[in-house]
Amino acid sequence: MTISIIVPCYNEEEVINMTNTRLASVLDKMDLQSEIIYINDGSSDKTSSILSTFADEDSRIRVLSFSRNFGHQAAVSAGLQYCKGDAAIIIDADLQDPPELFPEMIRLWREGNEVVYGQRLSRKGESGFKKWSAKMFYRTINRLSDIKLPLDTGDFRLVDRIVIDAFNNLPERDKYIRGLFAWLGFRQTPISYNRDERAAGETKYPLKKMIKFASNGIIAFSRKPLEIALQMGIVTLLISLGLTVYTFISYFLRPMTIVPGWASTLLVILFLGSVQLLSTGVLGKYIGRIYDETKGRPEYIISHDSDSSSSK
């Protein structure tokens, strides 16, 4: 049995040595073959050179380098494409998810679970805003989408080969990984843990990226926003029909009263205008996604693979 550890890294020079030591010490204690795949997601600091020294020193380690920064989700997808294990564990490079949980995850896997996902009991060292926004996001996406995302779950998880293959066969390029794993099904079980602080370095997910990531997750898994746009259209149509009737009636009953009505007219126009713009915006989001998918560009491009570099 072989287990693959998948670690996406973007500018992680401050923490990556620590991570590698901890991963190695956990893996050394286990009675399994293992490989560690580091995906260097176009880092501009020393991450790349540090990772190549790891690959030179330890034959279990493989480093895939992207030609530029393609994002965390693409990095994890690449790891899942390239890993050879009977199961893989996805883990962040910043040690927020403890590698010491591996033996327990593997035990649950050996009991027959095909996905073991980490569920956060608490999050240390993250701002109140981040915790609150994460909580709101998971609740919103569950209300909006057809699949149920387990609450407080990130990408830290173990997946069996059968699930990895199913995942790799999905034709979708812009992947929202945790959503897709929930969608795929199979036998899943949670494992609870306390999320630590980032061991060193800064977050690579600033607010702007987080909002993009969250809206992408909703668009990818729900058509509700489109339906809401339609419902708003219906409601405003009914209101304007009511207003028309009212205007006619008051014209015949008391012709003078409707003359000074410019304020209400303006309000109606503004309201309808904003509903229309909003609906067009929602449509645009979906069309943008269709456009991106039809271009058929690859999710990432690998510029260097430590396993095939020796043949040059």
CA atoms within 13 A on the CB side of 287: 6
Number of residues near ligand UDP (by CB under 6 A): 17
- Work out what residue 13 binds among ligand UDP, Mg ion, none; the CB cut-off runs from 5 to 8 Å by kind: none
Residue 92 in contact with ligand UDP, rule: CB under 6 A: yes
CA distance 136 to 139: 5
Neighbour-count burial of 91, counting CB atoms closer than 10 A to its CB (0-12 exposed, 13-18 middle, 19+ buried): buried
Least separation in angstroms between residue 96's CB and Mg ion is 4
Range in contact with ligand UDP (rule: CB under 6 A) among 65-73, 162-170, 261-269, 276-284: 65-73
Three-state secondary structure call for residue 33: strand
- Work out what residue 69 binds among Mg ion, ligand UDP, none; the CB cut-off runs from 5 to 8 Å by kind: ligand UDP
Q: Which is nearer to Mg ion, 108 or 199 (CB)?
A: 199
Binding ligand UDP by CB under 6 A: which of 2, 33, 133, 203?
Answer: 203
CA atoms within 13 A on the CB side of 195: 21
Binding ligand UDP by CB under 6 A: which of 48, 60, 89, 94?
Answer: 94
Residues 81-100 contacting Mg ion, CB under 5 A: 92, 94, 96
Range in contact with ligand UDP (rule: CB under 6 A) among 201-209, 214-222, 238-246, 264-272: 201-209
Least separation in angstroms between residue 152's CB and ligand UDP is 13
Three-state secondary structure call for residue 216: helix
Number of residues near Mg ion (by CB under 5 A): 3
- The pair of structure tokens assigned to 9 is 């890294």
How many CB atoms are located within 10 Å of the residue 117 CB? 22
Residue 75 in contact with ligand UDP, rule: CB under 6 A: yes
Which amino acid appears at position 124 of this protein?
Answer: K
Q: Which is nearer to ligand UDP, 124 or 139 (CB)?
A: 124
CA distance 153 to 117: 7
CB 110 within 8 A of CB 26: no
- Work out what residue 119 binds among Mg ion, ligand UDP, none; the CB cut-off runs from 5 to 8 Å by kind: none
Residue 12 in contact with ligand UDP, rule: CB under 6 A: yes
Q: Which is nearer to Mg ion, 197 or 293 (CB)?
A: 197
CB 11 within 8 A of CB 4: no
- Measured in residues, the chain has a length of 312
CA distance 188 to 179: 13
Range in contact with ligand UDP (rule: CB under 6 A) among 70-78, 114-122, 269-277, 294-302: 70-78
Q: What angle do CA 82, 32, 187 make, to 5 degrees?
A: 70
Q: Which is nearer to ligand UDP, 6 or 115 (CB)?
A: 6
Residue 69 in contact with ligand UDP, rule: CB under 6 A: yes
CA distance 122 to 196: 8
Contact residues toward ligand UDP (CB under 6 A) are 8-10, 12, 41, 69, 71-72, 75, 92-94, 96, 198, 203-205
